[in-house]
A and B are shown apart, each in its own frame.
Chain A
Amino acid sequence: MLKVRLIPCLDVKDGRVVKGVQFVDLRDAGDPVEAAIAYDAAGADELCFLDITASHEDRGTLLDVVQRTAEACFMPLTVGGGVRSVEDIRTLLLAGADKVSIMTAAVKNRQFVREAAEKFGDQCIVVAIDAKKTSLPGAPDRWEIFTHGGRTPTGLDAVAYAQEVASLGAGELLVTSMDRDGTHAGYDLALMRAIADSVSIPVIASGGVGNLDHLVAGVREGHASAVLAASIFHFGDYSISEAKAYMADAGLAMRLDPPRSGPHHRAD
């Protein structure tokens, strides 16, 4: 039986984790590779790096991080942020990413999704959707796509856009509620469900997780195939294994393989 995936996400800037990761026994909590190794050991089902490096010219550090992570973690890795061209995707995949998440470039040019999927296969193209609710209270729900961290409206209906990029060859959708992101109030479940129910590809729910019940609700009520969270893990509120055990107790099918142990988890 296919299991629900729990995906910790790390924001990376100039090769360093932006929000401090508070693990007890990391030699360097700012090193994304160390954090990735710790998440791997704890049983994360996938890892996600979001690169927020300001300058496109400074991508070398990210590629180095991806490469070192792929050498130490034998689990799927998604990398997003600033992906603008087929060449960007190729470089990330060759460095060791398994999937590449694209956002603004897909909003600007939908054919980029098709081009990327045809070139590298649907399975490695994740389209990130940042959406905000724009319908008035009482009116039927409507969410609009925003870019630039939620600052720039696009006028695009999130559900219609999701269907369009799915038909163009996206293998998966990473849906973030910009209303909820950083609030710890839980996913926008109506948004997740509206998109998950309207496409045949998997949806990763993102934005707003504050406790473990939110993860369960993302799957059960949001109909997501995978749930992503950042801060609740980074700041040590909950561990990955605790979260997975909680989700399993709530009746969700989770992968609870015993973690690999021993010195091979260190970045050697």
Chain B
Amino acid sequence: MTTAIVDYGSGNLHSAHKAFERAAREAGLAEVITVTSDPEVVLDAERIVLPGVGAFADCRRGLDAVPGMVEALETAVRNRGAPFLGICVGMQLLATRGLEYEITPGLDWIGGDVALIEPGAASLKIPHMGWNTLVATRDHALLKDLRTGPGGLHAYFVHSYALKPRDRSDLVAETDYGGAITAIVARDNIAGTQFHPEKSQELGLSLIANFLRWRP
């Protein structure tokens, strides 16, 4: 079984690759993790991960610049139902539109916009950078056996923009930063985390293992 991490020139795939390998090994899963920019590999993969760091528009352009990649993602994820995990901007790309610097269309798999965080208190810094806890808004396989809530485990966030799903039932978890901010979204076989599971130690590796076991 293969999990494909999509390489479209955005960010640090090395640590994502290693974290997925580590999570698979610790969970006793014989999953092969491969970093690829080949749409054929994505079409055949059992599971697909879309990472992303940087600005929304840049990431969208990077994804579009790989010939056949968006089509391969549509076919594998939307038609075939392959379990999908977007990370950070890879999660934001699920939205209808990104509003960072310019208005950029997203994949529109989860309805909503990605807009600047406006924390209630002016003293709160942007980016929202560091470790924060999760508030689960519903049960989900990705959160299995993970302690959430104020006394729960922490996830590592670094972002200035956040996805606001149009339909609240697409929310799985939020985090509090001068108000609720989307932390995890999911609909059918599609999920995404605003935080970086590959940088989130215990919570991150457990969530990755949950994704590798997920049968939506």
A residues with a Cβ closer than 8 A to B are 1-5, 40, 45, 67, 70-71, 74-76, 93-98, 118-124, 171-172, 200-202, 225-226, 255, 257-258, 260, 264
Contacts and interface: CB of A to CB of B under 8 A. Distances in A.
Contacts of B138: none
In terms of DSSP, what is the predominant structure of the interface of chain B? mixed
Contacts of A75: 156, 199-201
Nearest to B177: A2
B67 interface: no
Contact of A201 (B58, B127, B199, B202): B127
Interface in B187-216: 196, 198-205
A226 B130 contact: yes
Nearest to A76: B199
Contact of B154 (A70, A74, A255): A255
A33 to B, nearest CB: 13
Contacts of B125: 200-202, 225
B65 interface: no
A67 B204 CA distance: 19
Contact of A96 (B15, B22, B58, B133): B15
Contact of A5 (B124, B127, B131): B131
Contact of A74 (B127, B150, B200): B200
B128 A74 contact: no
20 contacts: A3-B130, A4-B130, A5-B131, A74-B204, A75-B156, A75-B200, A94-B12, A96-B15, A120-B53, A120-B54, A121-B54, A123-B53, A123-B129, A123-B160, A171-B158, A172-B129, A200-B126, A201-B125, A257-B201, A257-B203
Contact of A95 (B14, B131, B156): B14
B145 to A, nearest CB: 14
A257 B153 CA distance: 6
A5 B15 contact: no
Contacts of B53: 120-121, 123-124
A2 B183 CA distance: 13
A70 B14 contact: yes
